[in-house]
Structure 1
Amino acid sequence: MITVMLVDDHEIVRAGFRRLLDNTDDISVIAEAATGEDAYSLYQEHSPDVVVMDLSMPPGVGGLEAIKRILAVAPEANILVLTVQECEPYPSRVLQAGAKGYLTKRCAPEELIDAVRKVYHGNEYVAPSIQKELDGKKASKLNLLTKRELQVFTQLAGGSSVAQIADSMFISQKTVHVHRSNILTKLELAKTSDLIHMAIRHGIVEA
C-alpha cells in the first residue's frame, strides 16, 4: 500500500483528493496538513511514501520551503507538487529543490493517481504541458526576480497590502516598496495593476 500525505490549505480540496486516492486499491492517505510547518512535522511523524504538496500556503512556511525542510531531514522523500502555478519559474525551482513531480490542478484524476504511483516507484513525473514549457520555452521574465522579489510579487498580485506583506515576511514596509520598485523595473511594468494582470496571465493568481 502506498501511503500519502496531502498538503493543501483548503480543507475541501484535501477532502476531494483524499476521496480520489482512497478509492484506489493501492493508495491510502494517512495524514493531512494545511500549512508548511505542519507538513514538516507530520512528515517526520508519519513518514509517508509520497507527499502531495501545494505551493500556495498561508503566511509562514510555503510549499517550496516545506519541500526543502523535508528533504533536509529525509533526502529520500518522494514529493509530488500539485498546484495552480502553471508557469515558470515555479516548476524549475520546485524540481531543482528536489521534488520528484509537478502537476497542475487542471490535471485529470487519473493523472494524479498515475503520478503518485510513478513517484513512489522512484520515477519523476511532470505534467506534459509543464515539461514542454521547461524543454522549449524561453525563460519567463519572472526568472529575473530574486526569491524575495518573487514572494513580494505573488503577494501583491494576490491583493495583499504593503503592510500585510511586511508583516508576513518580517521586513519593513520601506523594504517592500523597494522590492516593488525593483519588480516593476525588471518586468518592465508601470504600476501594480499591470503586475496583477501579468500574474493572472501566468496563472500565478486566479482572475
Structure 2
Amino acid sequence: MSESGVPEVDDPPADELITVLIVDDDSWTTRAVAAALVDDGGFTVLEPQHSGDDAVEAFDRHRPDLVLMDVNMHPGMSGVDATKEIRSLDPEARIVLLTTVSPGPGITRALEAGAIAAVNKSATDVELVGVARSAAAGESPALLRSLAEDIMISGDITTDVHDAVPELTRSEKLLLTQICEGLDYAEIAEQQVLTIYTVKSHARNLRIKLGAKNLAQVVVRAIQYKFYVPE
C-alpha cells in the first residue's frame, strides 16, 4: 500500500495498466476515486495531488495516460489553469473534470482549456471506471452524456459569442444533437444508416465548422450558438 493509502495491484502486467493522476483538494475524494480505479484492476494510480501547481509538476514528471481534475481548488492554481498548463506541456494530454452534483463556475473554461469530458464525483464506481477507460482510449461522444446539462447548471457559459453563427445543414444539426445527447459513434451510425468511419468524418467536419478543438467543445459551441438546449 502506498503512503496515500492506495493499494497496489500486481496484475494485469504494468505495461497494460492505464496510468491515472487524480487531482482534488479534498483527500476523501481522491481516496474514493483511487479506490474505485484500483479495485477495478486495470489502472495504476499515481500519488494523488491536492493543488493545481502540484498537479502540473506531477504530470510533467510521470506523463500519465489520464488526469482526473477537480475544477475549483483552493488555494493556488485552479483546475482550469492546471488544465491549461498540462495541455501546454502535452497537447495530447487527456483530462477529465471531476464535478459536483451542482457544477460550479469553471467547467466550461476547463473544457475550453482542453478537458475532454466531465464525471460527477458522486458517480458509481462502474460509471467512474467506464469514463476513465473511455477517456484513456480517446474522444467519444459517449463521454458527453450529461455534459450539456452540467454546463447549463454551472452557469459558466456565455451565449454572447462574437463570431457569426455558423450555418449548419439539417444533417449537421442532427449530428450535433446526437453528440450533445451522448450517443456513441456506433449508435449514431445505426440511426443515420451510415458507417462509423463516415460519422467520425462528419463529426470532424462539424468540429471545424464550429471552431471546436474537441467534441466537448462541440457541446459548448452548440449551447453558445443555441443549437441545443438540454431538456
CA contact (8 A) 2:52 2:73 kept: yes
Q: Give the length in aligned residue pairs.
A: 143
**Structure 2 residue 82 is the aligned partner of structure 1 residue 57:** no
**What TM-score, normalized by structure 2, do the two folds share?**
0.55
**Structure 2 residue 167 is the aligned partner of structure 1 residue 143:** no
CA contact (8 A) 1:80 1:103 kept: yes
Q: Deviations over 1:61-93 (max 9, x none)?
A: 000000000001111111011122744763322
Give me the whole-angstrom Cα distance separating, in 2, the residues matched to 1:141 and 1:123.
23
Residue in 1 aligned with 2:196? none
Q: 1:81 to 1:138 in 2, by over 3 A?
A: closer
Give me the whole-angstrom Cα distance separating, in 2, the residues matched to 1:34 and 1:58.
9
Give me the whole-angstrom Cα distance separating, in 1, the residues matched to 2:42 and 2:103.
32
Give me the whole-angstrom Cα distance separating, in 2, the residues matched to 1:16 and 1:108.
11
Gaps of 5+ in 2: 1-16, 161-231
Give me the whole-angstrom Cα distance separating, in 2, the residues matched to 1:74 and 1:6.
17
> Within 5 A, what are the aligned runs for 1:1-207?
1-84=17-100, 86-87=102-103, 90-124=106-140, 126=143, 128-132=145-149, 140=155, 143=158
Q: 1:59 to 1:139 in 2, by over 3 A?
A: closer
Aligned-pair RMSD on alpha carbons? Answer: 2.7
Gaps of 5+ in 1: 146-207
Q: Secondary structure at the match of 1:5?
A: strand
Give me the whole-angstrom Cα distance separating, in 1, the residues matched to 2:103 and 2:156.
11
Give me the whole-angstrom Cα distance separating, in 2, the residues matched to 1:141 and 1:7.
21
Aligned-residue sequence identity (percent) comes to: 29
Give me the whole-angstrom Cα distance separating, in 2, the residues matched to 1:72 and 1:128.
27
Give me the whole-angstrom Cα distance separating, in 1, the residues matched to 2:29 and 2:155.
29
